[in-house]
Amino acid sequence: MNRTLPVTKNDYIDVVFEDLTHDGAGVAKVDGYPLFVPNGLPGEKAKVKVIKVNKSYGIGRLIELYEKSPYRVEIEQQDLHKYGGCQLEHISYEGQLKYKENQVRQVLTRIGKLEDVVIHPILGMDSPWRYRNKAQVPVGEKDGKLIAGFFKPRSHEIVDTNESLIQIKEVNEAVNAVKEICSQHSIPAYQEETHKGVLRHIMARYGKQTGELMVVLITRTAELPHKNKLVDEIVARLPHVKSIVHNVNSKRTNVILGEKTTVLWGNEVIYDYIGNVKFAISALSFYQVNPDQTRVLYEKALEYADLNEKETVIDAYCGIGTISLFLAQKARKVFGVEVVSEAIEDAKRNAKLNGINNAEFAAGEAEVVIPKWYKEGNAADVMVVDPPRKGCDEALLQTIIEMRPKKVVYVSCNPATLARDLRILEDGGYKTVEVQPVDMFPQTTHVECVSKIALKEEAGAQ
């Protein structure tokens, strides 16, 4: 028998919000039927309009607030809130941290069935603004001038934005300068529909500890009109710039960077530090966008690894070696593996840059390379995993269970897949000892965690 839904499209109803979804929408229930409403906060009473219904949930639009949450704040930048991914900008930072910590607790209990894990209070930032060291913005045209900013959700319409309050000041300045200089020289923007035009994206990267700036011009064409004039004017206008790079992406694709990269001026890389480890960052390098909180995250990973300079560590999903090089300072030997071969070359370069000789890196899939190392006698005392949002490959989890390292440190950017993977490890003989949430991306719904995991016999001895 079909259940009659308690609401219909275009209804106006009064609700009380009970919770937030994983993407920051308010959750209200009408006779048990969940209604998800962007910008609603728990405890608030409001009038909403129902704009979509299906069997299991509906979506509403906030019309009027009768009672406001004490955590509600005025939105600093409406475009950023609506289009720039800052879904939590209407919540005070105290409220954001409470929401993220609660999300981690709920997910570990609901998905991971982890009832007795110590979950520490989330580690937030002193100032939750101007933390991003990188911007890559799409370019378009309006009224004969170049625009650059955010895509509106579910569209490719660009919202022109001169400042993002989550970007470091020097990054905003670089994007604006390049946009204006290219516009003055009539560089045509890329047109997605016709696959014509030149300038697709502007990228800026900034080393917060070194003050070094990189500008990347991403074009459809191999030829960049007025190249020398653009370079001269960018150098004159941006005193921090150390590298100007041209990247060519001639394909019809949503992928931002192409395969061909040429240095137009200055160095191929800029440098930055996380803690006392120095990193070379190219146009194509993966590098954490919030270096201050990355240090917090990695220092916690190092603490949980609890190394004694006699242990061997395997770092799966090692990227450019950021965690590996932190661990190498306290380990006997670190083996890092990463599927992206360019990242492995960066990792080797960064090890050399820091004079670290006890880190070895290999390109390949972790679930293939690590069993090979194991057969060669390179068993891990400590395994570190820092997977993408989809979590660890099941084959890697089974390898960990078979290899039985004494400790596993799991760095996660997705609490749901973390909870799923912790459950698998628990069923395979491990115990989740403690979890530390870290707020890497204030104003957004994202939350990172570092988890300390030990073999059950080892955990019992702690």
**Taking 70 as the threshold, does the pLDDT of residue 269 lie above it?**
yes
For the residues 260-272, what does the mean pLDDT come to? 97
Please give the radius of gyration of the chain, using alpha carbons only, rounded to the nearest integer.
24
Q: Where are the domains of the chain?
A: 12-69, 98-126+290-461, 134-276
Which residues is 19 bridged to in the sheet?
Answer: 27
Predicted confidence at residue 1, as pLDDT, reads 36
Q: Which of 86, 318, 392, 413 is catalytic?
A: 413
Helices vs strands, H then E, count in the chain: 11, 22
- Nearest 10 degrees: CA dihedral of 77, 83, 84, 90? 50
How much is the pLDDT for 460?
A: 63
Q: How far is CA 322 from CA 288, 333, 349, in A?
A: 9, 15, 12
Helix (H, G, I), strand (E, B) or coil at 410: strand
Angle ∠(215,216,218) on CA atoms, nearest 5: 155
Which fold is adopted by the domain 12-69?
A: OB fold (Dihydrolipoamide Acetyltransferase, E2P) (2.40.50)
CATH architecture, range 134-276: Beta Barrel (2.40)
Give the whole-angstrom CA distance, residue 137 versus residue 154. 16
User: In whole angstroms, what is the distance from residue 415 CA to residue 114 CA?
Assistant: 13
pLDDT tens-digit map of 59-76: 999 999 999 999 999 987
Give strand pairing partners of 167.
132
Return all residues near 64 (Cβ < 8 A) that are at least 6 apart: 46, 47
**In the prediction, which pLDDT does 106 show?**
94
Q: Given this model, what pLDDT does residue 85 score? A: 77
Mean pLDDT for all residues in the chain: 94
Helix (H, G, I), strand (E, B) or coil at 77: coil
What's the pTM value of the predicted model, to 2 decimals? 0.92
Give dist(CA 96, CA 217) in Å, integer: 35
Q: Average pLDDT of 296-323?
A: 94
Cβ-count burial 142-170 (b if 16+ within 10 Å, e if not): eeeebbbbbbeeeeeebbbbeebbbbbeb
Phi, psi values for residue 127, rounded to 5°: -130, 115
Query: One fold for both 12-69 and 98-126+290-461?
Result: no
pLDDT for residue 461: 55
Please, what's the largest Cα pairwise distance for the chain? 72
Contact status, residue 301 vs residue 384, Cβ threshold 8 Å? yes
Side chain identity at 107, as an amino acid letter? V
Lowest mean pLDDT among 375-389, 415-429, 431-445: 375-389
CA 371/CA 396 separation, integer angstroms:
9
Please state whether beta strands 333-338 and 312-316 pair in parallel, antiparallel, or not at all (unpaired): parallel
Beta-strand runs (E) in 169-327 = 199-207, 212-219, 241-248, 260-266, 270-274, 277-281, 312-316
Fold of 98-126+290-461: Rossmann fold (3.40.50)
How big is the chain, counted in residues? 462
Q: 7 vs 377, which has greater pLDDT?
A: 7
Q: What amino acid occupies position 258? A: G
Burial pattern 116-138, b for ≥16 Cβ within 10 A else e, equals ebebeebbbbeebeebbbbbebb
Q: Are 269 and 244 in contact (CB under 8 A)?
A: no
Is 86 assigned a catalytic role? no
Tokens of 146: 């170049």
Residue carrying structure tokens 């999300």: 103
Structure-block tokens of residue 289: 């966008």
